Amino acid sequence: MSSTTETPLLRAEGLSKFFTLEQGVLAGLRGTRRALRAVDSVSLQVHAGQTLAIVGESGSGKSTLGRLLLRLLLPSAGRVFFQDSDIFAMKRAQLRAFRRQAQIILQDPSASLNPRMRIGEIVREPLDIYREGSKSERRKRVQALLERVGLTSAHARAYPRELSGGQRQRVGIAAALALSPRLIIADEPTSSLDVSVQAQTLNLLAELQQDFQLTYVFITHDLGVVRHFADRVAVMYLGKIVEEAPAEALFAAPQHPYTQALFSAIPPPDPTQRVSWTPPQGEPPSPLAPPPGCHFHPRCPLAMPQCSRVTPPLVSREAGHSVACLLYE
């Protein structure tokens, strides 16, 4: 366990990403553009060897945040530091060094693997790009990587379509590991897999974290996966982090009304816990026109008059548990 005084491996400060949407074909001429605030003033940190889970429903901005953290998108505001270097200020050589240390695993391996490349070529591609070792060393490394993720060297000659969904996700993991990264951002890595295959994949990711001291940012909507995996959890709603806490504390006592609503909406796989379900009513508002003040106030059972006027800041309350809610002011 890292102490909080240690420098975090990854740190975001006031990170925002706004997309401009043009309304209709003539909108650009008329100047009626609307900003979608996908990520809005997000600050977070991840310590080496730990797992931060970013949880939220569709449209919460969690995937956009993941891409910002890897500089796959440029921010509208804010900074991201990897080992104290600002990743958006990095020049070519520095950026190249950053990219080998920070990798991504995507949700749908059938969409992220090139269908025309053999498995061996896919896993070898990062090694080729970074000119790692000789040709035979690369071949050996590919073989070792495939075996490490539970595939065999026989799979190296196969094409992605010849593998099952779970095996394809292992290929994605092997390719992400090829350059021995320190940080892996996993965007819904098990969402398209069946539960028994999901369990195999999660076990593999846990072993790899142990073996290679990996730091994970896990982007997911599945709280079962979060509970199983995360050290810390950040809950997002309409572009903002509404609560951030150690996983134990968050699951024991969620503080933000949205987090509470989210937890209560999940059907536990246990019929003895069949409670009178009280899921939050209404739908998340459009991120194009988020409600003023706290974005959750129109759906919040505990909303107060000031909630529609004041945007609550994310305030640390106790032992690293932060909440953005006026109830706790």
Partner 1 sequence: MSLLSLRGLSTEFYSGGRWLEAVSDVSFDLRPGEILGLVGESGCGKSTIAYSVMQLLAHNARISRGQVLLGETDLLRLEEADLQALRGSRVSMIFQNPMTALDPLFTIGHQLVETLQAHLDINMHEARRRALSLLRQVGIPAAEERLRAYPHQFSGGMSQRIALAIAIACQPQVLIADEPTTALDVTIQAQILQLIRRLLVDERGSGVLLITHDLGVVAQVCDRVAVMYAGSIVECGEVAALFAAPQHPYTQALLNSLPSHRKARGRLETIAGRVPSLGDRPAGCPFAPRCPHTKERCENGRPPLIKVETGQEVACVLYD
What the block records as the tokens of 168 is 């394809």
Burial state string for 132-158 with b = 16 or more CB within 10 A and e = fewer than 16: beeeeebbebbbebbebbbbeeebbee
Q: Which of residues 54-83 bind partner 1 (CB under 8 A)?
A: 57-58
CB closer to partner 1 out of 56 and 78: 56
Q: Reduced to 3 states, what is the DSSP secondary structure of residue 13?
A: strand
CB atoms within 10 A of CB 313: 12
User: How many Å apart are CA 241 and CA 235, to the nearest integer?
Assistant: 6
Q: How far apart are CA 322 and CA 320, in angstroms?
A: 6
Q: Is 210 in the site for partner 1 (CB under 8 A)?
A: no
In the complex with partner 1, which residue's Cβ is closer, 16 or 198? 198
Closest CA to 326 of 301, 298, 299, 304: 304
Query: Can residue 307 be called a binding residue for partner 1 (CB under 8 A)?
Result: no
> What are the C-alpha distances in Å from 125 to residues 69, 120, 145, 276?
23, 9, 13, 52
Number of residues that bind partner 1 (CB under 8 A): 45
Stretch that binds partner 1, among 30-38, 136-144, 262-270, 303-311 (CB under 8 A): 262-270
Which residues are bridge partners to 318 per DSSP?
321
Angle, alpha carbons 281-285-286 (nearest 5°) = 155
- Closest to partner 1 by CB, 4 vs 286, is 286
Answer yes or no whether residue 134 interacts with partner 1 by CB under 8 A: no
Nearest to partner 1 of 105, 250 (CB atom): 250
Q: Phi first, then psi: what are they for 216, rounded to 5°?
A: -115, 140
Cα separation, 259 vs 235, in Å, equals 7
The helix/strand/coil state of 169 is helix
For the bound state, the minimum distance from the C-beta of residue 59 to partner 1, rounded and expressed in Å, comes to 9
Q: Should residue 263 be labelled a site residue for partner 1 when binding is judged by CB under 8 A?
A: yes
Contact segment (CB under 8 A) with partner 1 among 21-29, 39-47, 105-113, 220-228 equals 220-228
Minimum CB distance to partner 1, residue 225 (Å): 5
Choice from 90, 199, 303, 310 touching partner 1 (CB under 8 A): 199
CA distance 146 to 139: 11
Query: Cα 215–221–222 angle (5° rounding)?
Result: 85
Nearer to partner 1, 120 or 284 (CB): 284
The answer to the question of residue 228 lying near partner 1 (CB under 8 A) is yes
Residue 281 in the binding site for partner 1 (CB under 8 A)? yes
Convert residues 147-176 into a mask of x (bound to partner 1 by CB under 8 A) and - (unbound): -----------------xxx----------
Binding window for partner 1 (CB under 8 A); candidates: 38-46, 103-111, 211-219, 279-287: 279-287
Applying CB under 8 A, the residues found at the interface with partner 1 are 57-58, 164-166, 194-200, 202-203, 206, 221-229, 248, 251, 261-263, 265-274, 277, 279-281, 283-284
